[in-house]
Amino acid sequence: MDMAELNGALIGCGFFAVNQMHGWKDVDGAGIVAICDRDPERLKVVGNQFGIARRYTDAAQMFADGGFDFVDIATTVQSHRALVEMAAAHKIPAICQKPFAPTLDDAKAMVKACRDAGIPLMIHENFRWQTPIQAVRKALEAGAIGTPFWGRFSFRSGFDVFAAQPYLAEGSRFIIEDLGIHTLDIARFILGDVTSLTARTKRVNPDIKGEDVATILMDHENGATSIVDVSYATKQAVEPFPETLIELDGSAGSLRLSQGYRLTITNASGIDVTDVSPRLLSWASRPWHNIQESVFAIQQHWADSLKAGVETSTSGADNLKTFALVEAAYASAASGQPVDIGGLLR
Ligand code: NAD
Ligand code: 89V
């Protein structure tokens, strides 16, 4: 795509979209020219805050009017398939928020619709774009600990996520689908694709419908073993939200990403401790700044990739492999048995 400035349209002006709108203001080479929300109040709030004149309550009308190069779908999961298929029907490149879709079959259909239409699809899976996660990946690529054979990817918090996202308390699925999806994606980003997993879940908070604790044991294609453990029922001395902590053991050393964004690498050269804190962007606020910076980063990656005509890191095809882990974790927790991932992706 040969365009100096990409014009985007955003659908869904809710809680998280405000971060995405801020992110687009910072992105070099792309911006938002039209917005849509079926709730006129949210449309007004976001339209006024970001000075967007073109406003729609109906996505179909916005696509019919056109005048944009890509769409950023920031709605909750129920609408993702219909909106991505609408983008495909209009041959408009699409970004879609996580979770990809209500089911793996829906997600596969969305990938097919975009492939058949010849448009790129990126899932807004931003956690792998966090500064500390990128630092871990760079250390591995530099051979700092040799070949990793074991990992732990951990997110344990007592943060009240339901205050800003009340719908999270209402679904029969909670932590794996909403938060674990990020942690599973980080595990794939760091240790590669997964062949099988076994999961256990619990609901500790009696006021929500879904599970708020999950422990997942995974076999990776490269022979490494990892644990993904997530909890929103863990009260700690210092609340770590929204930090993902990582432990990796390798043939030539070990790596620890610990609370406070501290990266420790131990190998034959000694012990190296680095501060890998995210930047506090001008519009960001603690403790969300880690997530907010990654929103900007993934959106810059989208703009750069769209212009260069290259596949994004979290394309629909890539994110199917993360979403399969979500489905597998629920299936394993229900049956008590390990689940083969290849079987789900066929
Ligand atoms: P929200 O309910 O606050 O906002 C969603 C908005 O979409 C609402 O204003 C709603 O009216 C609108 N909407 C829904 N369907 C629509 C449709 N068909 N057409 C037009 N508008 C429609 O939700 P949220 O908390 O902002 O979450 C949105 C998505 O972002 C979710 O999928 C959530 O998982 C994701 N999220 C991601 C992160 C992250 O770090 N990646 C963080 C928080 C939320
Ligand atoms: O990423 C998310 O979707 C959020 C949060 C990080 C708060 O769990 O719901």
Residuewise pLDDT in 10s, the chain (346 residues): 445 699 999 999 999 999 999 999 999 999 999 999 999 999 999 999 999 999 999 999 999 999 999 999 999 999 999 999 999 999 999 999 999 999 999 999 999 999 999 999 999 999 999 999 999 999 999 999 999 999 999 999 999 999 999 999 999 999 999 999 999 999 999 999 999 999 999 999 999 999 999 999 999 999 999 999 999 999 999 999 999 999 999 999 999 999 999 999 999 999 999 999 999 999 999 999 999 999 999 999 999 999 999 999 999 999 999 999 999 999 999 999 999 999 999 9
The set of residues, in sequence order, having a beta carbon less than 8 Å from that of 270 and lying 6+ positions away, is none
93 preceded by a cis bond (ω within 30 of 0): no
* Cβ 165 under 6 angstroms from ligand 1: yes
- Whole-number pLDDT of residue 40: 98
Can you tell me the distance from the alpha carbon of 262 to that of 294, in angstroms, rounded to the nearest whole number? Answer: 18
Neighbouring CB atoms inside 10 A of 114's CB total: 24
- Whole-number pLDDT of residue 3: 55
Name the packing angle between helices 17-26 and 40-50 (round to 10°). Answer: 20
Q: Tokens for 169?
A: 């308390």
* Cβ 113 under 6 angstroms from ligand 1: no
| Burial of 6 from C-beta contacts in 10 A (0-12 / 13-18 / 19+) | buried
The set of residues, in sequence order, having a beta carbon less than 8 Å from that of 91 and lying 6+ positions away, is 117, 118, 119
User: Phi/psi of residue 154, each to 5°?
Assistant: -130, 135
3-state SS, residue 221: coil
pTM of the model: 0.98
Can you tell me the distance from the alpha carbon of 345 to that of 159, in angstroms, rounded to the nearest whole number? Answer: 34
Can you tell me the distance from the alpha carbon of 108 to that of 180, in angstroms, rounded to the nearest whole number? Answer: 20
Can you tell me the distance from the alpha carbon of 205 to that of 203, in angstroms, rounded to the nearest whole number? Answer: 6
Amino acid at site 63: F
Residue nearest to atom 6 of ligand 2 (CA): 179
Amino acid at site 118: G
Residue 127 per-residue DSSP state: G
The set of residues, in sequence order, having a beta carbon less than 8 Å from that of 323 and lying 6+ positions away, is 99, 100, 101, 104, 107, 181
The bound ligand whose nearest atom lies closest to the alpha carbon of 46 is: 1
Q: Domains along the chain?
A: 6-119 (3.40.50.720), 128-285+322-345 (3.30.360.10)
Q: Tokens for 41?
A: 């109040």
3-state SS, residue 80: helix
Residue 50 per-residue DSSP state: H
- Whole-number pLDDT of residue 4: 66
Residue nearest to atom 5 of ligand 2 (CA): 179
* Cβ 98 under 6 angstroms from ligand 1: yes
As a whole number of Å, the CA-based R_g of the chain is 20
* Cβ 16 under 6 angstroms from ligand 1: yes
| From 10, 11, 13, 15, mutation site for ligand 1 pocket: most ligand atoms within 8 A of C-beta | 15
The bound ligand whose nearest atom lies closest to the alpha carbon of 291 is: 1
Q: Are strands 148-156 and 225-231 parallel, antiparallel or unpaired?
A: parallel
State CA 117 to chain mean position distance. Answer: 24
